[in-house]
Amino acid sequence: MFKKIYKAIKKYDTIVIARHIGVDPDAMASELALKEAILLTFPKKNVLAVGTGGAKFAYLGTLDKLENVDYSNAMLIVLDTPDQRRVDCPEIDSFSYKVKMDHHPFVEKFCDIEMIEEEKSSACQLVLELLYKTKLKRNQSIIEKLFIGLVSDTNRFLFNSNSELFSLIAKILKEYPLDLPSLYQKLYMRPLHEVRLQGYIEQNMKVTENGVGYISLTSDVISKFSADVGSAGNMVNNFNYIDEILVWTMISEDKKNEIIKINIRSRGPVINTVAEKYHGGGHKFASGARVTTMEEAELLVHDLDRVCQEYIKNMEGGEEK
């Protein structure tokens, strides 16, 4: 399938690369790196990497405006996004050819070529493989971006025991020595007010009977710590390995968009089935949902508690055997 994608890239002179709304390092690094690789290989092509960025990720590069595109002769590559409504790009249907490269569980088909590899760590890994399996060129800057996105999505390889991924990393390190401390500094540097918000969460998180850690962050609290909904929600990644907590969730009020965003993580129980019930989805152990009222959020916490209860019961049963 990589060859097929390469052929399509070769064929179209105008290529727009997009990814999901609510940008994160994997989404943004994969689109910018792929753009760079296509331009390095085919300098005459018109390649745009689009979507709303974030000041936080400016070190990855700048995004393009979607302008002067003759859709009837343009190809769209969607990275890191399973469903059409979450693609951060207007007029998707106007493109004459569409390719999807994603590592999320399948949601819907909306492209001509759909590469869905759920066992892959990140969209950046898919782009890396595309570079190594086709004639697309690469350089230090492309590889650095892809490495940053990959490290971010795997949370520094926390959940990956995949030998294929480590072989790929070994291969790139032989070719491109990476200065990890400086790359990690770009990715993980954060302002003090965010750390203070994290302290607030640590102090105020509640825990249910069966080990669901949860906290409601009202927009007042979020703004008191000069944070935004996105960065508050992302803190969900910092609460692994707490003895009393199996599943944990940040419930953040987004007043501007009149929704409540919910980020959920787990170190055992499968949670995406619960997230799907509440207008969300995602991976087995890392999901998101959105609701409109705090009552709904409470119901979600209750459902998560049930999933944990079931999980604990099965674990105990398993040990007896």
**Residues in contact with Mn ion by the rule CB under 5 A:** 26, 80, 122-123, 153
CB of 266 to Mn ion, least distance (A): 17
Nearest to Mn ion of 101, 197 (CB atom): 101
CB of 284 to Mn ion, least distance (A): 14
CA distance 192 to 115: 40
Nearest to Mn ion of 142, 301 (CB atom): 142
CB of 62 to Mn ion, least distance (A): 20
Q: Which residue's C-beta sits nearest to Mn ion?
A: 26
Residue type, position 154, single letter: T
CA distance 307 to 311: 6
CB of 280 to Mn ion, least distance (A): 15
CB of 71 to Mn ion, least distance (A): 26
* DSSP, residue by residue, 184-230: HHHHH---HHHHHHHHHHHHH-EE-TTSEEEEEE-HHHHHHTT--HH
CB of 116 to Mn ion, least distance (A): 12
CA geometry: angle 262, 264, 267, nearest 5 deg: 170
Nearest to Mn ion of 76, 150 (CB atom): 150
CB of 186 to Mn ion, least distance (A): 18
CB of 205 to Mn ion, least distance (A): 26
CA distance 292 to 199: 26
- Can you give 250-271 as a three-state secondary structure string? EEEEECCCCEEEEEEEECCCCC
252, 266 in Cβ contact below 8 A?
Answer: no
Nearest to Mn ion of 29, 212 (CB atom): 29
21, 84 in Cβ contact below 8 A?
Answer: no
Nearest to Mn ion of 188, 223 (CB atom): 188
Nearest to Mn ion of 153, 228 (CB atom): 153
CA 310 to chain centre: 28
For 78, phi then psi, to 5°, come to: -105, 125
Nearest to Mn ion of 122, 216 (CB atom): 122
Nearest to Mn ion of 88, 153 (CB atom): 153
Helices (H), the chain: 2-11, 25-41, 123-133, 140-153, 163-175, 180-188, 192-204, 219-224, 229-234, 272-277, 294-320
The total of other beta-carbon atoms located within 10 Å of residue 60's CB is 24
